[in-house]
């Protein structure tokens, strides 16, 4: 019988030195990371103490042992110096004084005063201007007949010229009709609201008929007698309240919500 060949076993290499426990490697890595963490924290020129205290407590609870709190090294009554911190520079909005040019509202107001001098003197239109709005006012006695929304022939070319001028500027255009406080009820109009809205629509049609006015930014409002500019106590004051106003607001500095606020605030002048 043949004897089985015995395979020689390899001898294990003897490890020289003291063996290292496996948990020591993990512990050393953790301590190294903690050291790097605190070095980064202390390298900042400023730190928020409350936030750092919260992070420190969270780490203490996570690792289950008490750590040295670097906040003890920073006196509370002697915070880090911040004299060299430069505050950010915020650009101021351009004005007429520092740009040397007038804004759109001022430019349009000057053009209206120049181009419609004769109409303003005759009382066919009224132009009122403040720092936020321009109001172009068409009095009832010049623009419409009694209880009618048909424009007087003399007003049609004037309104068309106004629309052509406004179209050169980026404006929100709010056309608002107004009446006095005497109720109206006939076959055509059930109330002052309908009369004021119909008159505003008539003016809006003429504004856009011969011009490139952007209708996306055009609003037509019927106010009735809700926003008077006089007391309605006398025929003269009631005549002042019967009118159509065009309120102009710059688009680049006005948002949609301010436009609706402008509608509610008509008229600006009392």
108 and 235 part of one domain? yes
pLDDT score for 205: 95
152 and 247 part of one domain? yes
Domain presence at residue 198: yes
Report whether 208 contacts 215 (CB < 8 A). Answer: yes
Query: Any residues with CB less than 8 A from the CB of 230 and at least 6 apart, and which?
Result: 236, 237, 238, 240, 241
pLDDT digits (tens, 9 = 90+) for 154-192: 999 999 999 999 999 999 999 999 999 999 888 889 999
Nearest-Å Rg of the Cα atoms of the chain is 40
Domain presence at residue 43: yes
Domain presence at residue 89: no
pLDDT score for 220: 95
Q: Specify the CATH number for the domain of residue 248.
A: 3.30.1330.60
Domain presence at residue 2: no
pLDDT score for 16: 58
Count structural domains, the chain. 2
CA distances from 114 to 32, 104, 109, 121 (A): 79, 15, 9, 12
234 and 155 part of one domain? yes
Last residue of a domain, one of 56, 73, 90: 73
58 and 110 part of one domain? no
pLDDT score for 269: 39
Residue 150 phi/psi, 5-degree rounding, is -85, 125
pLDDT score for 63: 58
d(CA 160, CA 152): 13
69 and 106 part of one domain? no
Domain presence at residue 68: yes
66 and 127 part of one domain? no
210 and 170 part of one domain? yes
Low-confidence ranges of the chain (pLDDT < 70): 1-19, 43-56, 58-101, 256, 261-270
Report whether 183 contacts 224 (CB < 8 A). Answer: no
246 and 112 part of one domain? yes
Domain presence at residue 97: no
160 and 231 part of one domain? yes
pLDDT score for 270: 44
56 and 108 part of one domain? no
162 and 236 part of one domain? yes
63 and 108 part of one domain? no
pLDDT score for 88: 46
CA distances from 185 to 188, 189, 237, 238 (A): 8, 6, 21, 18
Domain presence at residue 78: no
Domain presence at residue 112: yes
Instruction: Note down the domain range covering 159.
Output: 102-265
pLDDT score for 203: 96
């Amino acid at each position: 019988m043949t004897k089985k060949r015995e395979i020689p076993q390899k001898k294990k290499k003897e490890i020289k030195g003291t063996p290292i426990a496996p948990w020591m490697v993990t512990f050393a890595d953790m301590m190294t990371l903690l050291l790097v963490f605190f070095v980064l924290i202390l390298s900042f020129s400023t730190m928020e103490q409350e936030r750092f205290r919260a992070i420190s407590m969270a780490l203490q609870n996570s690792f289950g042992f008490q750590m040295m709190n670097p906040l003890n090294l920073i006196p509370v009554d002697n915070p880090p110096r911040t004299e060299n911190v430069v505050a950010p520079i915020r650009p101021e909005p351009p004005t007429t004084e520092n740009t040397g040019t007038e804004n759109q509202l001022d430019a349009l107001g000057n053009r209206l005063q120049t181009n419609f001098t004769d109409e303003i003197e005759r009382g066919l239109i009224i132009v009122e201007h403040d720092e936020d709005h321009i109001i172009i006012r068409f009095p009832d006695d010049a623009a419409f007949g009694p209880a009618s929304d048909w424009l007087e022939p003399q007003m049609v070319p004037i309104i068309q010229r106004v629309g052509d001028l406004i179209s050169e500027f980026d404006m929100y255009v709010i056309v608002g009709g107004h009446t006095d406080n005497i109720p109206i009820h006939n076959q055509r109009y059930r109330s002052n609201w309908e009369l004021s809205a119909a008159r505003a629509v008539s003016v809006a049609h003429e504004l856009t008929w011969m011009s490139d006015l952007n209708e996306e930014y055009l609003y037509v409002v019927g106010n009735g007698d809700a926003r008077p500019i006089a007391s309605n106590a006398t025929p003269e004051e009631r005549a002042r309240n019967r009118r159509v106003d065009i309120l102009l607001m710059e688009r680049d500095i006005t948002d949609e919500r301010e436009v609706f606020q402008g509608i509610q605030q008509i008229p600006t002048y009392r």
